[in-house]
Amino acid sequence: MNWGYLKKEILPGDGYSKEYKDDVLCAIEKDFDWTSLPEAFTFLLTKSNGEKARIAEVLHNCVAKLTNSEMVKLDAIFRERTSIDWHYDWKNACPSNLLLANMSVEAKVSILGLCTLHPNGFYREKALQTLGSFETGREISFFLLRCNDWVQEVGSTAKLHVEQSLTIKNAYAIVQNLPIVFKLEKSKRADHSEIVEKIIELLSQKEAIPFLDQGSQSISSHVRFFCYRIMISSKMFDKNSLLSYFKKEKEPHSRLILFREILNDIKMEEFDELYPLLAHDTFPKIRLDVLEKYYLFYQEKSLPVLENALLDKSGSIRSIARHLLKKLNVSNFSSYYEKVITDGSNVNRKGALLGLGEVGNKDHIPLILPFLDDDKVGTIKAAIRSVLLLDGNNHKKEFMNLLNHQHSGVSKEAARALRFTHYQQDEVFSTYLNAKYSHTRYNAAVLLCSLPKWESLPYIIIFYVNTEDNAISQLGKLQLTKWLDTFNRTFQSPTKGQIECIRQCIMEHGHELLKEERVKIEFLLRG
């Protein structure tokens, strides 16, 4: 008997409960959970136009707020989560069917943009073609993403739409998408140099100057960085203009590319004027370049400046200062650092402690050890690093004591130092069990997770099942995932004692692990 006439077509969006759909949409709308967009996208496949309008509005409001980096991540998430279990003919489906006549143009662009992320190549290509009929500027983000599509035909269609969009009218939208443009430059899937060059050429026109200036004020540090790159390569901005951007910019890497262009071919008079500003920059690479340029211009009178740089908080600057001073026949750096440490002032003591650790020897340790009990956190951390460099293995006891320090930064520095010594893991585990401070317990756990492969596993499992400290439990879960994922990178076999220890741990705590994790560990133990 044929019962076909009783069957009703159920669209994917109508197969979910109202409660589930409301929960997903609420997470997107109120919590900006954009990672749920792929799930919510399936809700658009509904026979109810009213429901479709409601869903489309939520999706559009979320998509309109996405950053470039979020867009790139969303592209990957869409492929992972959609269409695998859908009983729907996506190959022959039409993206326009997800739209309503009364939707705003902006909303239509957002919905079609999401369609371009769909796993089905035929569907992505149709979405691109439909999206090509819009001229809001927002569609350019989706065109650029699809330029790197794994299906050549889809990528070619996307490139065609990008090329058609390369007009000054779209310069603002293109500027806002520069991080995606330059991501294409690094792609190994295909050669995108031609389309990238065309975009740079468009933005190197005088008409594009206002749009680059707007981009330099973007809240996205990546947009600002790439605007500066084009400003510099276009040669349309003089050094005074670049200097004004440099003074406003806070992000280190953007400041660095501006600074290096400003410093390029700079004259001595210009350098003198800028030196007070540049010499105290917060970014070490900038201070380093300024120091080298100062030495180049004023070698004969550079001694006081170089001596001051010996105490810089950056190791690279202390190192280059010593290198340049050697050219001036100054080399007794240990004595200089000792003098600063013992002069009774706290101003430069941190830099002096770090410097003495870099150039001193074991005989200097008695001078440094008292500062492990200093009342300044920065001084203690510097003393820890210095002792570690000079004779760390013979001062594990001091590091273990500082692992219990009341300040989390000192405890963390002590744990970092212990990693470079032959510490006793039983002693660290005892510290973990009896820790007075939560940060001590966490730092001890991190230290034990860094042990060699088979030694670390029992501790990782113990941390995983910790029910009293969520941070420790999350660390254990993360480390176990990492341990299982990277197992085959080293081929070291466990000893008999290690196998027994791990099996005992599995017997006690295995029921609290995920079944697949426990099974995989047991399989790996069998070799």
Residue 113 reports pLDDT greater than 50: yes
Predicted pLDDT of residue 79: 80
Confidence of residue 73 (pLDDT cuts 50, 70, 90): very high
Query: Model pTM?
Result: 0.80
Q: Is 367 exposed, middle or buried (0-12, 13-18, 19+ CB in 10 A)?
A: middle
Predicted pLDDT of residue 14: 83
Predicted pLDDT of residue 524: 85
Predicted pLDDT of residue 1: 39
Residue 346 reports pLDDT greater than 50: yes
Confidence of residue 311 (pLDDT cuts 50, 70, 90): very high
- Name the packing angle between helices 178-185 and 221-234 (round to 10°): 70
Predicted pLDDT of residue 527: 66
Q: Which helix (H) or strand (E) holds 158?
A: helix 152-164
Least confident of 69-83, 120-134, 430-444: 69-83
Per-residue model confidence as pLDDT tens digits over 129-179: 999 999 999 999 999 999 999 999 999 999 999 999 999 999 999 999 999
Predicted pLDDT of residue 489: 63
Confidence of residue 347 (pLDDT cuts 50, 70, 90): confident
Residue 95 reports pLDDT greater than 50: yes
Please enumerate in sequence order all residues whose Cβ is within 8 A of that of 219, keeping only pairs 6 or more positions apart, or say none.
Answer: none
For range 462-491, the mean pLDDT:
89
For range 115-130, the mean pLDDT:
94
Residue type, 95: P
Confidence of residue 501 (pLDDT cuts 50, 70, 90): very high
Please enumerate in sequence order all residues whose Cβ is within 8 A of that of 187, keeping only pairs 6 or more positions apart, or say none.
Answer: 148
Residue 56 reports pLDDT greater than 70: yes
Give the CA distances from residue 456 to residues 446, 448, 463, 493, 509, in Å, rounded to whole numbers and listed in that order.
10, 6, 11, 14, 15
For range 238-254, the mean pLDDT:
94
Predicted pLDDT of residue 84: 42
User: Is 427 or 7 the better-scoring residue by pLDDT?
Assistant: 427
Predicted pLDDT of residue 82: 56
Tally Cβ neighbours within 10 Å of residue 242: 18
Share of the chain above pLDDT 70, in %: 96
How many whole angstroms separate alpha carbon 116 and alpha carbon 189? 18
How many whole angstroms separate alpha carbon 436 and alpha carbon 94? 63
